[in-house]
Amino acid sequence: MTDDPIEVARDLRTRSPRRLWGLSPESIYTALAAVSAANSLQDQIAPHIRAETLRTNDKRDRDRVVTVHRWVLSELELVHDGEPTLLGALVLTSEDPESLLRSVAATSLRDAETVLRSCGEIDGSLPRREFDSLLADERDEVVLGPLLGSLGFVTVYPDSVELHHQRIERALGAQGEKSIEHAVATAYEKLLWHITAIDDEGCIEDVASRIAGGSSDEESSVNSVVAVLAGVSPRLIDSREIENVVAEQREQYERRFDALRSLLAPTSEYEIDYTDTGDTVDAEAVSSD
């Protein structure tokens, strides 16, 4: 964002619990959907702002709230150049986008993984001063700490911090040594069901493998896929590429069908050729054995 994220976060952070006013997994998802549909982000997140105003009996600058949402979409690489990335599209089509957003954040946000791993090693709640000691600098203190609160990893009170271990463990558990090609193929498998008319699982797998240059990994969870995609350069969705790959795959299927049909089709009726020599065969010359 053009505004300094530290200054924007400073204007939006709340005291108890510590979080960024107006920002939540639900509002981030709404903002992502607005960008995807080319709708006004400000108009689409307006209900979240009204709900936050009623919940907190507080009011913050609307433009600042819009700015922080745009910054989060960019920082998590859910959007690139105004268009949803493959990662963003996967979040949009997920049945559990909140969990995916946390997995993305744990990988993408600077120092987030370090802080969350330290929190995950602690049972129960954490004294506020110990949590603050995990935040490396002013940016972490002003931006990361409240953002982790908004994402639902922690609830930060003035004297203590409640750790939501299940969410932390799930986000960190999604990280691992997964193949980028497998992650991209799996992501496209999930996405193609929503953006094409293909309704055959085998065809979906073949098209996704062609696009990704590798096969999917059936054992990979969606959370692990987004964790991989969050750790690499953003990949945009090229609709022309998808159309071309679908056409190529259709041609391949047609060639296979033609080849199979040539093997299974009945041969033409046999024709018997004969030559009339004018000679006859004596019946006695034919053996009765």
**pLDDT class of 150 with cuts at 50, 70, 90:** very high
Mean pLDDT of 184-205: 88
User: What pLDDT shows up at residue 35?
Assistant: 96
Q: Where are the domains of the chain?
A: 5-173, 180-216+233-263
Taking only the tens place, the pLDDT of each residue in 32-84 is 999 999 999 999 999 999 999 999 999 999 999 999 999 999 999 999 999 99
DSSP 274: -
User: What pLDDT shows up at residue 13?
Assistant: 96
Taking only the tens place, the pLDDT of each residue in 206-263 is 888 888 888 877 777 899 999 999 999 999 988 888 888 888 887 777 776 777 777 7
Taking only the tens place, the pLDDT of each residue in 249-267 is 877 777 767 777 777 766 5
The rounded distance, in Å, linking the Cα atoms of 86 and 234 is 7
Mean pLDDT rounded to a whole number for the chain: 88
Buried b (16+ CB within 10 A) or exposed e, 29-60: bbbbbbbeeeeebeebbeebbeebeeeeeeeb
